[in-house]
Structure formats: C-alpha cells, structure tokens
Amino acid sequence: MGRIWEFVSTSPAKSLWHVHGIPVRVLIHRIWNALIEDRIFGHAAELAFYFLFALFPTLLCASAVLGIAARSAHLIYAQLLDYMALVIPTAALGAVVGTFNETASAASSGKVTIGLVVAVWSASSGMSAIQDTLNVVYKIVDSRRFLWSRLCAIGLTFLMTLIISLGLGALFVAEYASRVIEHRVSDPALQNAAEIAVQSTGWIVAFFLMVLSFSVIYYWAPDIKARRWHWLTPGGVLGILGWVLASLVLRLYLHYFNTYTLTYGSLGAVIILLMWFYITGLMILLGAEINSEIEAAAAESALAQLFSRESK
C-alpha cells in the first residue's frame, strides 16, 4: 500500500475523470473507508477552529490590501461580504460583518501597518491546517521546513483571499451593472435580457473562481513530490456542490428551526459560524479524499501493468 501512495506522490494521474474500470460502488466504499481511516470528520472540526481563528485577520488583511487602492476599502469589502449571505447563515454573517466593521473602523493606518504581519501570520493558520490534513489524505510526511511551510501557507492565504474577493467582486459588479442598465435602458424586453445576461455572467465568473480556489488548494497544499494541474476534478466538483447544498440546508434549518440561540444564548451566532466552517472544511477534505482515491486507483492500475510486463 505504501508503494501505491508513493507512486501517487511521484507520478500524478493525467486525468482524474478516468476511474480505471473500478465500479462506482467500489470507489464509494473506498472513499468512505478512507474518510474513517484518515479521521476526516475530526480534522474538519480542527479546520473549523482554525478557520474561525483566522477569519478576522484574513478580513483585515484583505481590507488593508484593498486600502492601497481605496480609503473606504473596508466599507466596500463589507458590502462584498453581504453576498456571502446566500450561503452563510444570516445570524453568523451579521456577527462577522458587525465585528469586522468595528475592528476596521477602530484601527488607524499605523495600527494596521504594525499589526499586518501578525494578522497575516494568524490568517495563515487555517491554510496551514489544510496543508497538514491534505498530507494525511495523501499518506505523506511533510518534508518542508516549518518556516518554508508557513511561508507557503501565507502565500496560499493571500492567493485564496484574492480569488474569493474577485468572486464576490464579480457579483458586486454584476449587481452594479444591472442597476445601471435599469436606469439607462428604456426598452423593457432589452432591459430584462441585458440584466439576465449580466447577472448570469457574474455568477459564472464567481463559480469559475470557486472552482479555481479548490484547484489551487488541491495543487499547492499537500507536499506531493510531483504536481499536475487539473482545472476541474471530481473531488472539486462534488466538494463545491456539497458545500453549496449543505450550506443551503443549514440556512433553511436555521430559518425554520433555529434552536441555537435558545441553547447557546449570545454565543449562538459563533456556534452557527463554527458549524458552517465545519461544513466548509469537511467538503474541502471530502473532495481531496475523492481525488486521492481516484489517483490511488490509477496508481494500482499502472503498477499492475508494470508488474505484468516484468513477469513476461
């Protein structure tokens, strides 16, 4: 088994959409066993804690970077965060936006400059946890030194912040363009067609950037020896769809059966946010497990062919 994972690390599969003749039922069974063996549900809880720990430093970093171009960047970013209300439960998002606005308005430029390094280091803790967990998924020991590994996590954090900001920005621009069309175009049919086209383009761009974010994580986070870029993977697609679906189910549950506030009082919003982060981490890891098991199947097939040639 160790040789298979070594092969996966050194000879990545050309395509993850080819399961090499393994029945879907068998593949699902392998993925489930891998989830249990790698303690993915426990690691998802670990990621949820680190995501919460890294949330506000990440938002501060993003607003500080945007502040280079605009003084009211934190207000713009707060508006962009409102688009996350489609998947984040309202109570949790309200707590995030409220705290973010308080922190951003209270921080002077000097404080932001001095604290930026600390904020970046704290924000990268979530990505560092993803690195460690994906190494578990691919059955490899991280050979990177601590400082280099952390620098990679910081780079990935900046990249992910940029990608997510661009995705939210695409929705923001599409909404702004729709309002411009509403005021500038007088013909109702043309106005509706233009608004639909603009909104659809915004959502397509946002979805593409979401796919890109999963691809970036799966490519750079684990310390595999040889990397192969995949724009779209089965794990990425199922991870994104599962994340959207689970987020919407959680949102509907909280809308009709919100017992968190009754149970946890003022901490209810934090618990809800932790639950959403748990779902996010779980879907990232589920996608990684799906991809890794497909790659393991490809490695088994390649090694079997190699052994058959050597035996002849």
The answer to whether the beta carbons of residues 217 and 130 sit under 8 Å apart is: yes
**Each residue's pLDDT expressed in tens, for the chain with a length of 312 residues:** 667 788 778 878 788 887 767 788 888 899 999 999 999 999 999 999 888 887 777 676 666 555 544 455 555 666 666 666 767 777 777 777 777 666 666 555 554 555 566 667 777 888 888 999 999 999 888 888 888 888 889 889 888 888 887 887 788 788 888 888 888 878 888 888 888 898 899 889 988 999 999 999 999 999 888 888 988 899 999 999 999 899 888 888 877 776 766 677 777 778 888 898 999 999 999 999 999 988 888 787 777 766 666 665
Cα-to-chain-centroid distance, residue 96: 18
Give the per-residue pLDDT at 215: 92
Largest distance between two CA atoms of the chain: 77
Give the per-residue pLDDT at 33: 92
Give the per-residue pLDDT at 290: 93
Give the per-residue pLDDT at 35: 93
Question: What is the C-alpha to C-alpha distance for residues 310 and 86, in angstroms, rounded to an integer?
Answer: 56
Question: What is the C-alpha to C-alpha distance for residues 285 and 39, in angstroms, rounded to an integer?
Answer: 10
How far CA 297 is from CA of 1, 22, 227, in Å, comes to 11, 8, 17
Write out the DSSP string of 179-200: HHHHHH---HHHHHHHHHHHHH
3-state secondary structure 71-138: CCHHHHHHHHHHHHHHCCCHHHHHHHHHHHHHHHHHCCHHHHHHHHHHHHHHHHHHHHHHHHHHHHHC
Question: What is the C-alpha to C-alpha distance for residues 135 and 129, in angstroms, rounded to an integer?
Answer: 10
pTM of structure = 0.84
One-letter amino acid of 243: W
Question: What is the C-alpha to C-alpha distance for residues 261 and 7, in angstroms, rounded to an integer?
Answer: 50
Give the per-residue pLDDT at 96: 75
Burial (CB count <10 Å: 0-12, 13-18, 19+), residue 85: middle
Question: What is the C-alpha to C-alpha distance for residues 168 and 88, in angstroms, rounded to an integer?
Answer: 13
Question: What is the C-alpha to C-alpha distance for residues 193 and 7, in angstroms, rounded to an integer?
Answer: 52
| Secondary structure element (H or E) that encloses residue 165, with its range | helix 146-184
How many other C-beta atoms lie within 10 A of the C-beta of residue 262?
Answer: 8
